[in-house]
Amino acid sequence: MALPVQERWDLVDIIARKTVAAGAYRQNLGDVLGDLTVRPLTGIPVAFAVLYAFWSIFSSFAGALVTDGFMVKVFDSHWLPWLQGAWSDPASIHYFLFVGDPLAENCFEAFGMLTSGLFVAIGVVLPAIIIFYLMMTVLEDSGYLPRLAVLMDTVFHRIGLHGYAIVPVILGLGCNTPAVTATRVLETRKQRFIMMTLLAIFIPCGAQLGVMLEVIPDAVGWVMLFLLIGFGIFGFILDRIIPGSNPEILIDVPPYHWPLWENVTKKLMNRTKSFLKDAVPFVLFGVLVVNVLYLAGIIGALADLFEPLFVTWFGVPKETVGPLVAAFLRKDLAVAQLSAIAMTPYQMITAVVLVSIYFPCVATFVVMLREGWKELAAAVAVLVATVFIYGGLIHAVGILMGVA
């Protein structure tokens, strides 16, 4: 038998009195800091400081300590000479495929599957991925990430998204593959499409950042600036031309707390394992495929075909066609290849931006396909237009500045 409404409420009161203890709320320092970090006036400088710490720790650990400190020595002074000595017949095809250039003095220039391929995957990208995911997990588990989402909400609304779009963006700076899946935190198809497209075009992955840091450390800031500007401009345009709604969201902001190290370790292990499983085979396979394409003369033919576009419109040498083909397999690999081509600093910046905004890597491509082939086809159409327009625009800026 159902109780009348009044009796039901009385029963609720009785249960609540017996089970809920209400004390006086006393604001603590954690609450105050939590509050200060979501207010724009204090929160934005804190966000800048957190980003500074993020990038500084990333470059010190991945760049100065692991890659420059140890990996370069292991690969260039021990692994490469040993391979070059042990592998017979430097003029053979298998030498070219697996060891690469017999005269190379370092693994970046050799471009064999077991030299550049292994060095990029293990020596450069792995340390970058480990430190990136460690810091990302600490920010996530300490409660800072939801605050960043609140802070960024107004900015993201300008491009049709909301604050939680910061999650796929930050994930994308590690690897675009999980980032595409994370676009599901957004409510509408329009928002998911905008985010997926912007991720594929303007967010360089951790692997690419690691290689950029290694081969063009002085130009990383400029490349990131061009990508950030493009992210804003093309996000704004996409928001205006794509039909659909941009709903508001309510974000639950947890209090600050120390991350549990068991959780941090577990997340770090899972994410790193996933990287090793998904990305390392692509890097090794990528070097092999590019070398086969070089041997078959396909890269040379493509370079001749696209020469007018690359030289006249983008202002980069025609040799950059090869790295662009490799970029479909792995963008980090492509940046490593670019470093071996003679270019002016501005051409290098343009070429690296082109590699970033050009087609998503094959792993991201597959995940995007899983989200829907129509979305993928539309994203590719936007991408082609963006590469053409933005690549030409960067060249034009260079001409105006007198540096192109």
Determine, following the binding rule CB under 8 A, whether residue 122 of this chain makes contact with other proteins. Answer: no
CB contact at 8 A, 214 and 72:
no
The residue (of 60 and 245) whose beta carbon lies closer to other proteins is 60
CB contact at 8 A, 195 and 209:
no
**216-245 residues near other proteins, rule: CB under 8 A:** 221
Select from 24-32, 151-159, 272-280, 352-360 the region that touches other proteins (CB under 8 A): 24-32
> Six-digit token pair at 235?
């996000």
Select from 57-65, 186-194, 250-258, 269-277 the region that touches other proteins (CB under 8 A): 57-65
Question: Pick from 40, 45, 255, 281: which binds other proteins (CB under 8 A)?
Answer: 45
The residue (of 218 and 248) whose beta carbon lies closer to other proteins is 218
The residue (of 219 and 233) whose beta carbon lies closer to other proteins is 219
Determine, following the binding rule CB under 8 A, whether residue 82 of this chain makes contact with other proteins. Answer: no
The residue (of 35 and 278) whose beta carbon lies closer to other proteins is 35
Question: Pick from 29, 86, 103, 400: which binds other proteins (CB under 8 A)?
Answer: 29
Q: How far apart are CA 329 and CA 290, in angstroms?
A: 9
Select from 68-76, 280-288, 341-349, 379-387 the region that touches other proteins (CB under 8 A): 68-76
Q: How far apart are CA 295 and CA 327, in angstroms?
A: 18
Determine, following the binding rule CB under 8 A, whether residue 293 of this chain makes contact with other proteins. Answer: no
Question: Pick from 3, 15, 64, 384: which binds other proteins (CB under 8 A)?
Answer: 64
In angstroms, how far is CA 274 from the centroid of its own chain? 15
393: Cα within 13 Å, side-chain hemisphere: 13
> Six-digit token pair at 400?
């105006």
Q: How far apart are CA 194 and CA 191, in angstroms?
A: 5
CB contact at 8 A, 227 and 204:
yes
User: What Rg value do the Cα atoms of the chain yield, rounded?
Assistant: 25
Residue of 58, 110, 74 lying closest to 220 (CA atoms): 58
Q: Which residues bind other proteins (CB under 8 A)?
A: 27-29, 32-33, 35-37, 42, 45-46, 48-50, 52-53, 55-57, 60-61, 64-65, 68-70, 72-73, 221
